[in-house]
Structure 1
């Protein structure tokens, strides 16, 4: 009922302000089939509508998204973003539901942790669809080439994980099949449980960089294990996660060198010691170095990412060091109407990978067709666990 009311409000808003309203968006059909058995993995029709209205120093942006899932025969209306921008001489204020994007990484979240993620389809959707809009107040204060950004998030929003029946539900340790798993309890909706983040950024001719700090909640719950006489009870709990981070980008001889890192304090990790309820806390570092260049008309990008648990102990479920590499190559043809891309992740620890080749063609202004594949390699790890989910897919999209 609330979604119907929301739809009526949005349509009324668009009708009343039609002459002054800037409208854009897209309509998309997305079909995917598993290579192994030909079963459909995706049957979606999406209408993404973006509305802008400005008057004086105030602007309103609303982004409703209508999505029909043909596999579940379910129509959803989501308000991805809806916020006010208020402009002053030296600063801007944004209030409402918004996506906040930080950092320099491609396809990896390191300092880009303000907006939680929807991983119900793993990491396959576009990243602006993976990020979840959050209710927040964001202040940007401008000082020449520098910007100071502060964010207050009054209500916690967790990561959206795949349904237990989904092909994207991750592999779980055997202990979970032999235990009673309770529902996760989210932080209370009160001022003391809110989140804060601040970022300083500098944009110069020689280098640009960002420094950030945040007092957040971990968007993913930690599984606490409580032994009983004949069973185990697993209680997912959310914990505070303070962090600091930095990123930079620098042009070098026509190429771009990028770096990004974050340091987390007292992050919770699962261990095999039930005397501490299967959880220990350690500081944790997550960082990358990246290189972007155009070689013979082909845009190429490389990244090396490492995760490191400080003070590591042998009973940890995670590896002390987790290493991942990414590769991107992109080339356009026919006056940039035809584009070929291949993006890949390689998990060094488990020798697994995800390859994502795709080719797209712009038939006419606004109309695009895309053919692609998701190829999983390996038997375990972040990517190898989905080796039965290899698929081919097609997207037909019209931008207006």
Structure 2
């Protein structure tokens, strides 16, 4: 298995080496002739499933990727373009992904404007999200792609207004950007309609919202830093980013309307950094909780702390809570035989990071564990920097759970290991 993964990544870089030989000269030419900064990487990743799954391929990831990141100062602002050319052997397709294409400028000292495709992110969680409701790629996260690919770009207008110690961020997305969810095409999942784990034999289609200027997203964050403590208020008006509803007429998944209102605080404490975040999820298409085909409203809470235990060793702990509202109505609306979710879903996370060999080797472990669902997700990873341009990474996504219908438990057959080799330029 490891031999296969090693050969996959090594072969990619061997093939790419001739093309990369003149990259430095090309970068110098672009900067001198057009004032364009050019960076990027070429990468190969391969990954295999640890258990046989009759509904899926043995390979979870097998791809070659070329990323180009171009930027140029233009007028009073900066123009940026980041695009990936991806050859995906598992999906058997060649894709050109436009990850970022935006222009940022400041018409006033207290105002920043960014127009175009951009990655939107805020909040205080470490791989846990409450007020960050922007689009994500969960499939990438579970198969071993770089964490960069967890976040998807949105075509948006973002305004940053600054006044003293306060800052106001306003975001408008004319057409909602949906998250990439687990639909069965590459990873198996719990299908409540079938009452079993399903994969490519039951790929769930969705009704993507496509009315520009009508299916829009609006978000704001008001933040301030007072005496070393960061405070923030959040608001969001749009849709669930993953399909949390079902159209009974077509059997397709839908994206119900959603409002999110929250707050966070982050400050130094006990030799590290602590954070507290809370959010109210207003499921606007089912505020009573009586519709079993639409997710209920919720309260969400996150408490975290991170600190250095000793030199080159850091640890982070988080506690996360989801409290389902109108729980009695939810139970009453459940179809007979359908497993019921708990009123309170508790989740604990642990992150350990160790740097070795003059910080060229990074060993890390991230663990999700839910004592209420009795399931878990383990993410061990080793990243070694061979040189300034070359790095190798190995890791795993290990899932376990007592029940098939819980969040991590449904992915038990998707446990995988992966290996990647990246050459930056």
Q: Which moved more, 1:132-141 or 1:310-319?
A: 310-319
Name the structure where helix makes up a greater proportion of residues. 2
CA RMSD after TM alignment:
2.9
2:424 aligned with 1:399, yes or no? Answer: yes
Please state how far the C-alpha of 1:55 moved relative to its aligned partner.
2.5
Aligned to 2:243: 221
Please state how far the C-alpha of 1:320 moved relative to its aligned partner.
1.0
CA contact (8 A) 1:21 1:51 kept: yes
5 Å-filtered alignment, 1:236-385, equals 236-266=253-283, 278-279=292-293, 282-297=296-311, 298-313=313-328, 314-315=331-332, 317-379=340-402, 380=404, 381-385=406-410
Structure 1 residues 373 and 236 mapped into 2: Cα distance closer, same or farther (>3 Å)? Answer: closer
Please state how far the C-alpha of 1:238 moved relative to its aligned partner.
2.5
Whole-angstrom CA distance in 2 between matches of 1:363 and 1:69: 25
Structure 1 residues 240 and 76 mapped into 2: Cα distance closer, same or farther (>3 Å)? Answer: same
2:145 aligned with 1:125, yes or no? Answer: yes
5+ long unaligned stretches in structure 1:
1-10, 227-231
Whole-angstrom CA distance in 1 between matches of 2:84 and 2:295: 39
Structure 1 residues 342 and 176 mapped into 2: Cα distance closer, same or farther (>3 Å)? Answer: closer
2:230 aligned with 1:208, yes or no? Answer: yes
Structure 1 residues 97 and 319 mapped into 2: Cα distance closer, same or farther (>3 Å)? Answer: same
Structure 1 residues 215 and 70 mapped into 2: Cα distance closer, same or farther (>3 Å)? Answer: same
Structure 1 residues 53 and 252 mapped into 2: Cα distance closer, same or farther (>3 Å)? Answer: same
What CA deviation, in whole Å up to 9, does each residue of 1:20-64 have, x standing for no partner? 001112221111122235932211111121110103312100011
Whole-angstrom CA distance in 2 between matches of 1:36 and 1:181: 20
2:74 to 55, 59, 62: 55
Aligned to 2:160: 140
Query: Tell me, what secondary structure is at the counterpart of 1:128?
Result: helix
Structure 1 residues 285 and 149 mapped into 2: Cα distance closer, same or farther (>3 Å)? Answer: same
Whole-angstrom CA distance in 1 between matches of 2:188 and 2:284: 23
What CA deviation, in whole Å up to 9, does each residue of 1:373-395 have, x standing for no partner? 22222243222222222222111
2:45 aligned with 1:30, yes or no? Answer: yes
5 Å-filtered alignment, 1:6-45, equals 18-36=33-51, 39-45=58-64
Structure 1 residues 321 and 53 mapped into 2: Cα distance closer, same or farther (>3 Å)? Answer: same
Please state how far the C-alpha of 1:176 moved relative to its aligned partner.
7.2
Task: Indicate the structure whose relative CO is greater, using CA pairs within 8 Å and at least 6 residues apart.
Answer: 2
CA contact (8 A) 2:279 2:300 kept: yes
TM-score, normalised on structure 1? 0.85
What CA deviation, in whole Å up to 9, does each residue of 1:168-224 have, x standing for no partner? 2421114478xx999543445243432211111113442112111111112233434
CA contact (8 A) 1:255 1:293 kept: yes
2:94 to 75, 91, 95: 75
2:114 aligned with 1:100, yes or no? Answer: no
Query: Tell me, what secondary structure is at the counterpart of 1:129?
Result: helix
Query: Tell me, what secondary structure is at the counterpart of 1:382?
Result: coil
2:179 to 153, 159, 168: 159
1:193 to 183, 203, 215: 215
Whole-angstrom CA distance in 2 between matches of 1:270 and 1:195: 19
TM-score, normalised on structure 2? 0.81
Query: Tell me, what secondary structure is at the counterpart of 1:387?
Result: helix
5+ long unaligned stretches in structure 2:
1-25, 197-201, 335-339
2:90 aligned with 1:86, yes or no? Answer: no
Whole-angstrom CA distance in 2 between matches of 1:252 and 1:246: 19
Aligned to 1:229: none
Structure 1 residues 281 and 21 mapped into 2: Cα distance closer, same or farther (>3 Å)? Answer: closer
CA contact (8 A) 2:183 2:203 kept: no
Query: Tell me, what secondary structure is at the counterpart of 2:414?
Result: coil
Q: Which moved more, 1:42-51 or 1:372-381?
A: 372-381
CA contact (8 A) 1:267 1:281 kept: no
Deviating beyond 6 angstroms after TM superposition, the runs of 4 or more aligned structure 1 residues are: 14-17
Structure 1 residues 225 and 187 mapped into 2: Cα distance closer, same or farther (>3 Å)? Answer: closer
Whole-angstrom CA distance in 2 between matches of 1:189 and 1:216: 13
